[in-house]
Amino acid sequence: MSSHRIHNFNAGPAALPLPVLEEIQAGFLDFGGSGMSVTEVSHRSKWFDDVINDTVDRFRRLLQLDDRYHVLFLQGGASMQFCMVPMNVLPDGASADYVDTGTWSTKAIKEARTLGKTVNVAASSEDKNYSYIPRELALDPQAAYLHITSNNTIKGTQWHRYPDTAGVPLVADMSSDIMSRPLDPGPFGLIYAGAQKNIGPAGVCLVIIRDDMLGRVPETLPSMLKYTTFSAKNSMFNTPPCFAIYTVQLVLKWLEDTVGGLEAMATVNRKKAATLYDLMENDGFYRGTAAADSRSLMNVTFRLPDEDLEKRFVAEALENGLGGLKGHRSVGGCRASIYNAVSLAAVEALAQFMKEFARRNG
Ligand SMILES: *Cc1c(COP(=O)(O)O)cnc(C)c1O
């Protein structure tokens, strides 16, 4: 059945664990003995209630969230959060700090400003084409929050240590590295993540929000744009993206029961990234685009000696069963996205191909 599946290095939507896809397939026509597909059952049914509650419980366990944190499932993708965050938790008259590490954080800043909110860009790595994570932050101790993008999917950089905000709540877009490593939720007032990189299919966005942040939500917002609407109704004020949430549940089950949790996942992820970065360092043919201390363990971005070789690299890789290696259209080059579901064996197959390609073309 799966013999023609390729090694999938897509940036998003991205690879899902094969056992998850097989479980979806096996249960697709008769979900939990209901005689219906999971795409056919009511979101008000006991079947779906069990799905959403178990998914929330698994997030709580894996991320060690205490009772102050609420786990919500929203639609509109991570991009919707670029406006919902400032609408809900940046009061008029207050200011928020943002770190600009490229594309997605740039968009988050733009949306906050479009709403007429006050944004202080506490640091930016634009001066070097967003190839690093800034160390020096001009933080405002009165800021409503500090917004960061924990992993920069397009530029290939990642925060390896979160900034110390002296009590100002951290807000993080973790779309492309959530659940890739253990997390201390303590400093975070709000975390959001589109599911389609590391935890599921497109169509659902995870929001984890703390009580004090919920307390800021203005009553004047429309229902569908207020976090409190979703926290009051266990994400079922209206019809949630049932199938996407169900898939997230299966991914978390795989993460807990098969992989063995976030520490074990992080160990594999470090090994995968090291396989590619070590190869690039020793080889000289491939040139990583991110500064060494800021390199992402999820999105490995690199260039070849010229663009013609890059095109051939991507095409020949696909002929060899290695897909999705083209860099984002805004930056060019190549990118291997090695999210949780991409196995060490897949990364080793890519490394082998890279070595051979360099030998033939170097
Ligand atoms: C993909 C991505 C987004 C955009 O997600 P959508 O769900 O398409 O809106 C935002 N932030 C980061 C870090 C991403 O990787």
DSSP 8-state symbol, 295: B
| Nearest 10 degrees: Cα torsion 131, 100, 210, 160 | 20
* Of 239, 241, 240, 265, the residue nearest 252 (C-alpha): 265
Model pLDDT, residue 1: 46
Taken as a whole, the chain contains a residue count of: 362
Rounded to two decimals, what is the model's pTM?
A: 0.97
| 104 in active site | yes
Q: Which of 83, 176, 331 to mutate to test ligand 1, by most ligand atoms within 8 A of the CB atom?
A: 176
Residue-by-residue pLDDT tens, the chain, 362 positions: 456 899 999 999 999 999 999 999 999 999 999 999 999 999 999 999 999 999 999 999 999 999 999 999 999 999 999 999 999 999 999 999 999 999 999 999 999 999 999 999 999 999 999 999 999 999 999 999 999 999 999 999 999 999 999 999 999 999 999 999 999 999 999 999 999 999 999 999 999 999 999 999 999 999 999 999 999 999 999 999 999 999 999 999 999 999 999 999 999 999 999 999 999 998 889 999 999 999 999 999 999 999 999 999 999 999 999 999 999 988 889 999 999 999 999 999 999 999 999 999 98
All domains of the chain in start order, with CATH: 21-259 (3.40.640.10), 261-361 (3.90.1150.10)
165 C-alpha to ligand 1 centroid (Å): 24
| 211 in active site | no
DSSP string spanning 315-348?
HHHHHTTEE--BPPTTT-SEEEE--TTS-HHHHH
Q: Which one is catalytic: 155, 197, 226, 272? A: 197
Contact 193, 174 (CB under 8 A): yes
9 C-alpha to ligand 1 centroid (Å): 16
* Nearest atom in ligand 1 to 205's CA: 7
* Of 88, 152, 87, the residue nearest 295 (C-alpha): 152
